[in-house]
Amino acid sequence: MSVSQEVAETTALKALAWLVNNEEVCSVFLGSTGASVEDLRARAAEPDFLGSVLEFITMDDAWVVDFCDSNALAYEVPMMAAATLLGTARMHWT
């Protein structure tokens, strides 16, 4: 199952907004990725960056639930959107 590029990008932009508005999770994202607040603004239109935001959120079930509940999304949508945006760059071999 997958989502369209448009749905993936819209979901990712919502995820970025959720991240920015969640100070605790945003600081974890910035610390773990090395991104800066300026990067959040400057790279908001880049599918790879947006995919990395989604991939980060999917690392924690509580984040997924909070993000999805606050945006009326099914819990599997962030993972599907990340797969669409990242394509083969997201392949896991384990």
Counted domains in the chain: 1
Domain membership flag for residue 18: yes
Give me the domain span that covers residue 32: 5-84
Q: What is the pLDDT of residue 88?
A: 62
- pLDDT tens, 30-65? 999 899 999 999 999 998 999 999 999 999 999 999
> Which pLDDT belongs to residue 89?
58
In-domain check, residue 80: yes
4-23, pLDDT tens digit by residue? 999 999 999 999 999 999 99
State the pLDDT at residue 1: 72
The amino acid present at 22, given as its one-letter code, is N
Q: Residue 52 falls within a domain, yes or no?
A: yes
Distance CA 16, CA 51 (A): 10
Place 93 in a pLDDT band, splitting at 50, 70 and 90: very low
Cα–Cα distance measured from residue 39 to residue 30, given in angstroms and rounded to the nearest whole number? 9
Task: Give φ, ψ of 47 to 5 degrees.
Answer: -55, -40
Q: Is residue 19 part of a domain?
A: yes
